[in-house]
Amino acid sequence: MQTQGTSSKGSTWGLAILFAVLVGGMRESVEGMLVGALLGGSLAQVMHLRNRANKLDEQIRSLQTSLVSRERKTPPPIEPTELQAAAQRIHTPDPLAPGQAEQFAPAAAVPKVEQIPSSQALPFKPPPAPSPPRVPPQPSALDKLIAALTAWIKGGNPLARIGIVVLFFGGAFLAKYAAENSLFPIELRFVAIALGALALLVIGWRLRERRAVYAQLLQGGGIAGLYLTVFAATTLSRLLPFGLALGLLIAIAVCAAILAVAQNAVSLAVIATAGGFLAPVMLASGSNNHVGLFTYYAVLNLGVFTVAWFRTWRSLNVLGFVFTFTITGLWRATGYAPSDLFTADAFLLLFFLMYVAVSILNCIRQPPDLKGYVSGSLVFGLPVVAFTLHATLVSTIEYGLAWSALALGAFYLALAWGLFLTRRATLHLLVEAFAALGVIFASLAIPLAFDTRTTAAMWAVEGAGLLWLGVRQNRRLARAFATLLQLAAGLGYLSGVGHLHAAQAILNGAYLGTLLLAVSGIVSGYWLFGNAQREANYERGAHTAFALWGVAWLLFGGLQEIDRFADAVQLGAALAYVATIGVGLLLLSTRLQWRFPSQVALYLPALSMLSALMYALDYAHPFAQGGGAGWLILMAGHYWILRRFDAMDSNEASCRWLHAIACWVLALVMAWEANWQIEFVASGVWPQLPWGLMPAVLLAWLSRQRLLPPWPLAKFADVYRIRGGIPLAMSVVAWIVFINLTSDGDSRWLPYLPLINPLDVSVALCGTALALWWTSLTQEQRQVVWPMDLKGLLASAAALTFLWLNAALLRSLHHNWGTPLDITSMAHCTLVQTSLSVFWGMIGFAAMTLAARNQWRHVWIVGGVLMGIVVAKLFLVDLSSIGTLARITSFLSVGVLLLVTGYLAPLPPRRSAHIEGGL
C-alpha cells in the first residue's frame, strides 16, 4: 500500500511538472504553467483511480476463476451411503481474510476427511452447479491508450522519463529562441545541441547493463536530440546541404534501430522515434518545405521498418503510423497547393507501402490479432486514411478516384494472392483481411466511375461471385458481405430509376442492369440452397429470399422494358412475358432439382391474372393492348405448369385451387370482353346479357356427364364442379336477381314479347344451367354444395323463379301498355296492381293444386300464404288505390280462384312430405 501511494504521488507530481512545462512553453507565461500543472495533476489522479479500479476488477475475476476451478475439482461420485458419510467428514475451510484473495489457490479446495461413525451422517445434498464465469467487458481504445501512457510514465523510472521529455522540449525551445535572437553563432548553437545529445547517448550506453531502463531513456533522448539538430540545421538555417542532411538522418535512424534491437529496448525506440517526429513540429518556421519534411519522415519510417524487421513492437509501428499520417493530413489542410500534387502523392504512396510492409512483417514474426487495437489500426486503418488523403488530392481529376480505388483494390488482391501462395500459417488471417480490402476498394471504384445502372449490375455480379466463394470456402463473413453488396446494388439501381432512358429495346443499360441483378439473385439462391447443410442459423431461408429477389428484378426489368417500347400491346406482352418466366422457372427447377423456383412458377400465373384484371380496369376491357393473345398465352402457360405438376404426382392442395381460379378468371374475362364488344354494336339490355350467360355456359359445360377434355376437366371433375362450379352458380344467381331488379329488358331493334325476349330467354337459360349443374352432382357433392335441408334450397329456387316471373310481368306491362317501372308509380298504377293481384292468385292456385295432387303439404301451405297475401292486398291496397273497374276485376278473379282452389286443392293430411322425392 505504501508503494502504491508513493507511486501515485510521483505520477501526480511528474505529470503536473510535464504539463506545466508544455502549456507554459506554448503560452510563454506563468499562468500557462499553473494551468498546465493543474491539468497534469488532475489527469494523474484520474489515471490513478482508473488503474486502481482495473486492479480491483482483476482481483475479483481472479477470485471467481479460483472458485470455479475449486467447484469443478469435486471428488468422483461414490455410493450413496459412503457419500453421505463423506459429506460429514469434510472440513469446511475458514473464510478468507481480507487481503488474502490474491493468495487463494485451487489447491486449498481439497477436503479434509475425518473418521466419524456412519450413524451420525447427515442427508447428502449435492453441491450446486457452478455458474459460468462472468466475461469482463473489453476495454475501449481510449482506455488502452490511457493505460499505456500511465504504464510508460510509471514504469521503470518515472522521474527520468518525465525529465527526458522536459529536456527535449527545453532543447527545442532553446534552439528556437537562440535562432530568433542571434545570441550565439549559429554553428556554435547546433554544435552545442549535438554535443549534448551525444553526451546523453554515451552516458546511456555506459549505463546499459547497470541501470537498463534509465540508460534507455538517456539514449532515446540523445537520438531525439540528434534528429532535432540535423533537421533544424537543414531546414531553419540552411547550414547543411540536403544530401548530407539526408545521409546523417539515415545514419541516425540506423543507429537508433541498432541500439533498440541490440538492447531489446522498445522504450528507446519509442522515445527516439517520437522525438524525431516531433522535431519538425517544434521547429516549424512557416517555410512550407514539404519535400524536406516528407523526406525526413521517410527516413524515420525507414527506421521503423528496420526495427520491425527484427522486433515485433506494434506500439512503435502505430506511433510512426499516427505521427506520419496525422502531420501529413495537417499539412494537406494548411499548406497544400495544387502544384504540390505530384510530390505529395508520391510521398503518400511511399508511406503507405512502408506501413503495408510493416503489417506483413508483424504477421511473419507472430500471428496477428486483427481484432486488437494495434493490428486493426495498421491493417484496416492504413488504407482508409491513405485513400482519404489521396482522394483530397485527386478529387478534381476526372475518374481519378475511380482509377485510384481500382488500383488500390487490385493491389490488395494481388498482395493477398501472393501471401496466400507462401502457405504460411501466420499469414492466413492477414490474407483474408487483404482480400476483403481488395474487394471493398474494387467495389468502390464502380460507383465512382459509372452511373447507377452499371454500378448496380457490377455490384450484383460481384456479390454473386463473392457468395459463391463464401459457399465454396464456407466463409460466413464472405456470404454476409455478398448479401449486403447485392442489396446495395438493388437500392442503388432504384435510386436512379427515375432517370432511366434507353434508345434501343433490350440491349440497353437499364434492362441489362435488371437482368444481371436477377441472374445474380437466382444463382445466389441456388448456391445457398446447395449449402443448406452448412448454413448458419441466421441464413435459414436465405436461398428463398435470394430467389424471390431475382424473380422480382426479372419481372421489374421486363415490365419496364415493355412499358417503354411496347406501349401499344403492353398488356398482351406483359402477360406473355410472365407466362414465359413461369415456364422458364419450372424448367430451371427441374434441371437443378431445386424445388422453390417451381413453387414460384406455380403461383406466378395466377397472381398475374389478378394483377392483369386490375390493370384492365383502366382500359375498359381485358383484351385491350393486345390482351387477347396475352390471355391465351398466359392460360396456356398456366395449364402447362399445372400439367407438369400433375405429371410429377404432386398432391398439393394449392394445385386444385389454381384449377378453380383459372375457371373463374376464364368466365370473368369472357363475360367482360363480350360485354365490351356488344356495347359497340347494340345498346339496351344486350350488353348486360354476357355477365350471366358466360358463367352459365361454362357451368353447363361442367354439367356434362362426360367432361371434355380428359385433362384437366375429366381428371379433376370434382375440382371443377365443386370449387369451380360454386362461384359460377353464385354469380349466375346474383346476375338473375340483379338484372330482374334493375333492367327494363329493352331489346331495342326487336319487338318485346312476354317471356320470348332476350332478357327472359337468358334468364331461362341461366336457370336451366343451374338445374343441369345440380343434377350432375353426386349425393356427396350435393352435401358439399348445400349441407342444409333441401327444403331450403327448393324454397330459394321458388323465390328466384317468383322474382323472375313478377319482373317479366312488369316488363311486359311496361313495353306493351306503358306502365311505369319505379316503385312509387307502380303502387298507384291500376293496371299494375290488378295484374299483380291476379297473377299472384294464379301462382297460389297452381302451387296449391299441384301440392294437393302430390301430397306436398309444405308447398300447399306456401301457396295458401301467397293467396292470403293476395286477399290482404285486395283489402288494404287495391280497395283504395285503384279504379272501380279494376277493383271489380281483381276481386272477382281472386274470388273465383279461391273457390276453385278450395274445391280442387284441399289441404293434404299431415304425413311425411315427399319434397325430397320430388326433387
Residue 776 is placed in which grid cell? Answer: 350432375
Tell me the average pLDDT across 312-324. Answer: 82
Least Cα distance to 840 among 859, 858, 865, 857 occurs for: 865
Q: What is the rounded CA–CA span in Å between residue 712 and residue 644?
A: 12
Confidence band of 2 (pLDDT split at 50, 70, 90) = very low
Q: What is the rounded CA–CA span in Å between residue 894 and residue 871?
A: 8
pLDDT winner (highest mean) among 351-360, 644-653, 882-891: 351-360
| Angle between the N-to-C axes of helices 158-181 and 266-282, in degrees from 0 to 180, rounded to the nearest 10 | 20
Confidence band of 73 (pLDDT split at 50, 70, 90) = low
Q: What is the CB neighbour count within 10 angstroms for residue 401?
A: 19
Confidence band of 887 (pLDDT split at 50, 70, 90) = low
pLDDT, tens only, 701-715:
999 989 989 999 999
pLDDT winner (highest mean) among 51-60, 807-816, 833-842: 807-816
Residue 819 is placed in which grid cell? Answer: 306502365
Q: Is the pLDDT of residue 474 over 70?
A: yes
Q: What is the rounded CA–CA span in Å between residue 703 and residue 717?
A: 10
pLDDT given at position 507: 79
pLDDT given at position 478: 83
Q: Is the pLDDT of residue 889 over 80?
A: no
Please tell me which residue, 622 or 503, carries the higher pLDDT value: 622
Least Cα distance to 441 among 481, 410, 397, 486 occurs for: 410
pLDDT given at position 428: 77
Residue 513 is placed in which grid cell? Answer: 442492369
The count of C-alpha atoms lying within 13 angstroms of the C-alpha of 666, restricted to the half-sphere facing its C-beta, is: 20
Q: What is the rounded CA–CA span in Å between residue 659 and residue 702?
A: 13
Please tell me which residue, 126 or 733, carries the higher pLDDT value: 733
Please tell me which residue, 369 or 910, carries the higher pLDDT value: 910
pLDDT, tens only, 435-450:
878 887 887 777 677 6
> Which of the 8 DSSP states describes residue 806?
H
Q: What is the DSSP string of 428-443?
A: HHHHHHHHHHHHHHHH
Query: What Å distances lie between residue 661 and 206, 610, 725, 726, CA to CA?
Result: 98, 10, 11, 12
pLDDT given at position 165: 61
Query: What Å distances lie between residue 442 and 477, 486, 523, 646, 846, CA to CA?
Result: 18, 15, 22, 49, 91
Residue 790 is placed in which grid cell? Answer: 333441401
With a CB cutoff of 8 Å and minimum separation 6, the contacts of 420 are: 427, 431
pLDDT winner (highest mean) among 169-173, 247-251, 463-467, 687-691: 687-691
Q: What is the CB neighbour count within 10 angstroms for residue 785?
A: 15
Q: With pLDDT > 70 as the criterion, what percentage of the chain qualifies?
A: 72
pLDDT given at position 183: 55
To 5 degrees, how large is the angle CA 303–CA 307–CA 311?
A: 170
Q: Is the pLDDT of residue 843 over 90?
A: no
Q: What is the DSSP string of 274-317?
A: HHHHHHHHHT--S---HHHHHHHHHHHHHHHHHHHHH---HHHH
Q: What is the DSSP string of 95-108?
A: PPPTT-GGG--GGG
Q: Is the pLDDT of residue 103 over 70?
A: no
Do residues 594 and 526 touch, judged by C-beta distance below 8 A?
A: yes
With a CB cutoff of 8 Å and minimum separation 6, the contacts of 779 are: none
Q: Which amino acid is at 805?
A: L
Least Cα distance to 561 among 507, 605, 518 occurs for: 507
Q: Is the pLDDT of residue 106 over 50?
A: no
Altogether, the residues listed in the chain come to a count of 919
With a CB cutoff of 8 Å and minimum separation 6, the contacts of 362 are: 308, 312, 314, 317, 368, 375, 378
Q: Is the pLDDT of residue 535 over 90?
A: no
Query: What Å distances lie between residue 567 and 342, 564, 578, 847, CA to CA?
Result: 55, 7, 16, 61
Phi and psi, residue 501, nearest 5°: -140, 140
Helices (H) and strands (E) in the chain, counts: 36, 0
Whether the CA torsion 650, 651, 655, 659 is positive or negative: it is positive
Query: 57 — alpha (psi -120 to 50), left (phi > 0) or beta?
Result: alpha
Q: Which amino acid is at 448?
A: L
Please tell me which residue, 75 or 408, carries the higher pLDDT value: 408
Q: Mean pLDDT lowest for which of 297-306, 446-455, 664-673?
A: 446-455
With a CB cutoff of 8 Å and minimum separation 6, the contacts of 558 are: 511, 514, 577, 581
Q: Is the pLDDT of residue 32 over 80?
A: no
The count of C-alpha atoms lying within 13 angstroms of the C-alpha of 332, restricted to the half-sphere facing its C-beta, is: 21
Q: Mean pLDDT lowest for which of 56-70, 137-151, 332-346?
A: 137-151
Alpha helices, H only, 155-265: 158-181, 186-206, 212-235, 242-263
| Angle between the N-to-C axes of helices 595-616 and 542-565, in degrees from 0 to 180, rounded to the nearest 10 | 40
Whether the CA torsion 259, 261, 264, 265 is positive or negative: it is positive
- Any idea which residue has 395449364 for its cell? 639
Do residues 712 and 659 touch, judged by C-beta distance below 8 A?
A: yes
Tell me the average pLDDT across 644-664. Answer: 86
pLDDT given at position 720: 95
- Residue 552, classified by CB atoms within 10 Å of its CB into exposed (0-12), middle (13-18) or buried (19+), is middle
- Residue 181, classified by CB atoms within 10 Å of its CB into exposed (0-12), middle (13-18) or buried (19+), is exposed
> Which of the 8 DSSP states describes residue 92?
P
Q: What is the rounded CA–CA span in Å between residue 83 and residue 78?
A: 6
- Any idea which residue has 481510449 for its cell? 142
Least Cα distance to 457 among 534, 514, 393 occurs for: 514
Do residues 504 and 498 touch, judged by C-beta distance below 8 A?
A: no
Whether the CA torsion 242, 248, 252, 253 is positive or negative: it is positive
Query: What Å distances lie between residue 98 and 63, 102, 103, 379, 576, CA to CA?
Result: 12, 10, 11, 46, 85
Confidence band of 385 (pLDDT split at 50, 70, 90) = confident
Least Cα distance to 358 among 381, 379, 373, 385 occurs for: 379
CA 397 to chain centre: 36
Confidence band of 827 (pLDDT split at 50, 70, 90) = confident
Alpha helices, H only, 396-497: 400-421, 428-449, 452-472, 476-495
Q: What is the CB neighbour count within 10 angstroms for residue 185?
A: 10
Q: Mean pLDDT lowest for which of 118-127, 249-258, 261-270, 281-290?
A: 118-127
Please tell me which residue, 805 or 401, carries the higher pLDDT value: 805
Q: Is the pLDDT of residue 154 over 60?
A: no
Do residues 890 and 882 touch, judged by C-beta distance below 8 A?
A: yes
With a CB cutoff of 8 Å and minimum separation 6, the contacts of 353 are: none
Q: Is the pLDDT of residue 12 over 60?
A: no
To 5 degrees, how large is the angle CA 729–CA 731–CA 734?
A: 110
Q: Is the pLDDT of residue 51 over 70?
A: no
Do residues 908 and 851 touch, judged by C-beta distance below 8 A?
A: yes
Least Cα distance to 490 among 569, 422, 433, 549 occurs for: 549
Q: What is the CB neighbour count within 10 angstroms for residue 727?
A: 17
pLDDT, tens only, 616-652:
988 889 999 999 999 999 999 999 999 999 888 766 6
pLDDT given at position 594: 92
Q: What is the rounded CA–CA span in Å between residue 352 and residue 382?
A: 7
Do residues 696 and 730 touch, judged by C-beta distance below 8 A?
A: no
pLDDT given at position 854: 81
At residue 700, the 3 state secondary structure works out as helix
pLDDT given at position 18: 47
pLDDT given at position 15: 46
Residue 468 is placed in which grid cell? Answer: 459463391
Alpha helices, H only, 73-124: 80-89
Residue 916 is placed in which grid cell? Answer: 325430397
